[in-house]
Amino acid sequence: MEFCDDCGSMMKTDGDHWVCGSCGAEKLRDSAKEAQMVTTQGQQKSEIVDVSDAEDKGLPTTKVHCPKCENDRAYWYMQQIRSADESETRFFVCTECEHKWREDDH
């Protein structure tokens, strides 16, 4: 993905040039630079986080209500589960029953 130096809009390819759809600015494509770009198809799925033995791995805990067993402590961690321009999701794992839920679960 390339952005226009003049107006900041996203540019599109047109042959051997990048062309801005907003202001019409053009610049030559750089194949070496483009080879380093990561497309959404090239992004890998997020890793699975093993939270067994979470205490031994140093995961932080917080005071939060477990919806399964009513415990008030859980380990938590952040994980990117959507595209890079979306915020991370916080996951909780109960310190008692190891029930796992996301921050936005009800």
Confirm whether residue 20 is marked as ligand binding: yes
Encoding tokens for residue 8?
């900041």
Residue 4 labelled as part of a binding site: yes
H or E stretch including 31? helix 31-35
6 is in an annotated binding site: no
Instruction: Identify any residues that bridge with 62 across adjacent strands, giving them in sequence order.
Output: 74
89 labelled binding-site residue: no
Residue 93 annotated as binding?
no
7 is in an annotated binding site: yes
The Cα–Cα gap between 69 and 77 comes to: 20
Q: Which helix (H) or strand (E) segment is 26 a member of?
A: strand 26-28
Is residue 96 annotated as involved in ligand binding?
Answer: no
Return the SS3 of 24: coil
User: Is 66 annotated to bind ligand?
Assistant: yes
Annotated binding residues for Zn(2+), written as ranges, equal: 4, 7, 20, 23, 66, 69, 94, 97
Annotated binding residues, written as ranges, equal: 4, 7, 20, 23, 66, 69, 94, 97
